Amino acid sequence: MTASDQPDTATVSAGHKPYTVWRTGADKPILAENDEIAQEVPVALEFNGISHATLLLTPANLEDFAVGFAYTEGIIRAARDIYDLDIIERTQGLVVQVTIASACLNELKLRRRNLAGRTGCGLCGIESLDEVQRQLDPLAPQPGRYSAQAIASAVEQLRTMQMLHQTTGATHAAGWANSSGNIEYVREDVGRHNALDKLIGHRLRLSPQRPSADDAGFAVISSRASFEMVQKAASAGISALVAVSAPTSYAIDMAGQLNVMLAGFARGSLFTVYSHHEFLDSGSAS
């Protein structure tokens, strides 16, 4: 399955819907206006007829989300492990029915958890400490690979390319930038983990294999950087993750272990590097 196999789910949902709201303030009259609100709906994931997880997310780019989630959860090894994908609308929400290779069913059983997904929650349903951190091999080191100028350019572009956020003010974004700092695609969602899964899923659907860490591109996210954001990036071969907000200590430690350059507080031309500063080019690191 590739990104062109079926129409983008934006045709199913734009990710927002109209509401009537009433604006007012101290010593101000109440005025009724139309407003666009970000959608947040329950989405159930089923793999080979097995109910796996129910999460709250924005119902756009659901194919990307399903592929990205399945990959970063370790259920599939590549996008080609997904044979079919259908989206079913029900009264209570949406069901994404995914058919995966039989060889992946064992991984599905190992990673299976009953998620009662709350927006932005990355660990809902985890039953033991052993399940928190996946066993991932560190990525190949990338010394001198990334330009500070490219990172600053990508951060500025991400701000202007968050169409859903500009409409609703309620979503996070994850963007993929090439080595020159030009963002090639952006995915948005009310949940930051969901936005990154959508980005990773889209990237996987563009490539029949796992994207290579040799790619000089990097991911930019509009949120803080948690350990799971780093873990998802590393699982998809992304060697640099740039966050607009702060990272957590667990995220920094994991980025150090997995050879991911983690940057935060990326605003304007400035950012702070928390792990693997040697991945910046010599001019940036001086």
10 Å Cβ neighbour count for 115?
A: 18
10 Å Cβ neighbour count for 51?
A: 12
Q: What is the DSSP-derived secondary structure letter of residue 140? A: P
Phi, psi at 132, each rounded to 5°: -65, -50
How would you classify the pairing of strands 82-90 and 218-221? unpaired
121 is catalytic: yes
Which amino acid is it at 159? R
User: Is 58 within 8 Å of 37 (Cβ atoms)?
Assistant: no
Q: Which of 41, 101, 121, 285 is catalytic?
A: 121
User: Is 75 within 8 Å of 103 (Cβ atoms)?
Assistant: no
10 Å Cβ neighbour count for 130?
A: 7
DSSP-derived 3-state class of residue 173: strand
How would you classify the pairing of strands 261-267 and 240-243? parallel
Handedness of CA 121, 125, 130, 136 (dihedral sign): negative
Which positions are annotated as active-site residues?
121
